[in-house]
Homo-oligomer: A and B are copies of this chain.
Amino acid sequence: MNSLASTHKKPTISDVAKLAKVGKTSVSRYLNGEFDALSERIKAQIELAINILDYRPNQMARSLKRGSSKLIAYLIPDITNPYSVEVMQGLEKACQDNGYTLLVCNTNRSLEKEHYYLQLLSSYSVEGLVFHPIRSHVNSLTAYPYPVVLVDRKIENFSADRVGLDNIQAATLATMHLIDNGFDAILFISEPIVGISSRLDRVNTFKSVVANHHNVSGDVIEITEQTDSEHDRALLATQIAQFYDAYPTKRKAIISINGSLTLEIALALKMLNLANSQEVGLLGFDDPKWAAVVGDGITSIKQPTYRMGYATFELLLKRINGYQGKPQDILFAGELIIRSSTQSLSSDR
């Protein structure tokens, strides 16, 4: 019941050459677009033969020969993170536009798996790697045999292009927005910070902005990587409650370091019956689609993730093609999307 019988094995370049009555070399040249070295007659014959046989070159053989594979890999710590998925969309499109195919590898926050994939990828002759590392310390000391573009964060002792958010700008924007809206007790909640440059930048910026405003208190708590467990959820709620109780006379708000965490916080706030900007404001980095609909909308810092993904590929391609300029940081500005979660009913400034 399969669409077609296709008992034939896949045609090879030799089959095409034979049918077209030309040498394999000519076919190879045709495939690689070296038309200036081919007569019209031969070209036409080859074209015909290819169509008849429905021939398509074997990428594996090509890769073996030339070392390149038209494959690039995207290594991400958490496939669940909307940020990663959004970046992936831009990446995927760019790949398609340039004849590349994307290998997606989820390290699932395990350094071991990160290592595993880093090794594995070279054996697939990937031409380049888009690397969203778990943290700055990568435990594979071997040099990568392919260009690497980092996403979101840096790696120690490894200099490579990086595409990411302008965290200083974005964190300033976020913090100032809260302060300007009359919040004077702000809790910044982050997942583990050590070794993750982007998080560090955000937290430090937050601290320094708050330090410039003597009337506002700024707390930072660093929680463990959130799992789906009720336990983590309860713990988070407890910590938020503590913060809430600590500033009875102030207007309180929370900044969340990323999209997944924002969701957890929203959940916790709901459990605590505090899910209302009059009780506790909420602002999150990342702007997943649901941010507009949770509660009456969560104010967020939107990253141009799609463009970032696309740009990442372009940078990588430049490297693949031999560009040797010194590594650059391409930082995108974050955009503040204001929603109800940081509104004051009365402008009580």
Contact B293 A157 (CB under 8 A): no
Q: A57-B123, A63-B60 are in contact. Are A158 and B3 (CB under 8 A)?
A: yes
Q: Is A23 an interface residue (CB 8 A)?
A: no
Contact B89 A113 (CB under 8 A): no
Interface residues of A in 227-277 (CB under 8 A from B): 263, 266-267, 270
Q: Is A96 an interface residue (CB 8 A)?
A: yes
Q: Is A28 an interface residue (CB 8 A)?
A: no
Comparing A140-148, A161-169, A170-178, A206-214, the segment that makes contact with chain B is A140-148
Q: Is A1 an interface residue (CB 8 A)?
A: yes
Q: Is A111 an interface residue (CB 8 A)?
A: no
Contact A141 B2 (CB under 8 A): no
Contact A125 B159 (CB under 8 A): no
Q: Is A4 an interface residue (CB 8 A)?
A: yes
Closest to A270 in B: B293
Task: State A190–B323 Cα separation when bound (angstroms).
Answer: 49
Closest to A124 in B: B59
Comparing A14-22, A41-49, A99-107, A197-205, the segment that makes contact with chain B is A99-107
Q: Out of B143, B157, B266, name the residue touching A6 (CB < 8 Å).
A: B143
Looking at the assembled complex, report how far the CB atom of A306 sits from the nearest CB atom of chain B, in whole angstroms. Answer: 10
Residue of A105, A113, A289 with most partner-chain B CB within 10 A:
A289
Binding site for B on A (CB under 8 A): 1-6, 10, 54, 56-61, 63-64, 69, 71, 79-80, 85, 88-89, 92-93, 96, 101-106, 108, 113, 119-120, 122-125, 141-143, 145, 157-159, 263, 266-267, 270, 288-290, 292-296
